[in-house]
Amino acid sequence: MTGTPPRTHGDRVFKETLPMPDLPTMAQTFRNAGYQAYAVGKLHVYPQRDRIGFDDVILDEEGRLIYGVIDDYELHLGDQGYAGQHFGHGMSNNEYSSRPWHLPEATHPTNWAASQMARTIRRRDPNRPGFWFLSFRHPHPPLTPLQCYLDVYNQMEIDLPIRGNWASERAALPFSLQTHMSRDDKHSPVMMAAARRAFYALCTHIDHQLRIVIGTLREEGLLDNTIICFTSDHGDMLGNHHLWAKRLFYEDSANIPMILLGVAGDERVGHHRVDDRLVGWQDVMPTLLDLAGLEIPDSV
Strands 259-261 and 228-230, bridge-based pairing: antiparallel
Cα first-last separation, the chain: 11
pLDDT value, residue 282: 93
10-residue mean pLDDT profile of the chain (300 residues): values are: 88 82 95 98 88 96 78 95 93 93 98 99 98 98 97 94 88 88 85 96 98 98 98 94 90 93 92 90 96 96
Q: Residue 56 belongs to what H/E stretch? A: strand 56-59
Which of 129, 111, 113 shows the shortest CA–CA distance to 220?
Answer: 129
pLDDT value, residue 20: 86
Distance CA 108, CA 77 (A): 10
Distance CA 183, CA 244 (A): 7
pTM confidence score: 0.94
Which of 228, 215, 214 shows the shortest CA–CA distance to 269?
Answer: 228
pLDDT value, residue 69: 66
Q: Coil, helix or strand for 38?
A: strand
Chain-centroid distance of CA 116 in Å reads: 15
- Residue type at position 184: D
Would you kindly state where each structural domain of the chain is located, as residue ranges? Answer: 6-222
Distance CA 198, CA 208 (A): 15
Distance CA 126, CA 232 (A): 29
Which of 238, 285, 240, 237 shows the shortest CA–CA distance to 258?
Answer: 285
CATH of domain 6-222: 3.40.720.10
**Do 60 and 113 touch, CB atoms closer than 8 A?**
yes
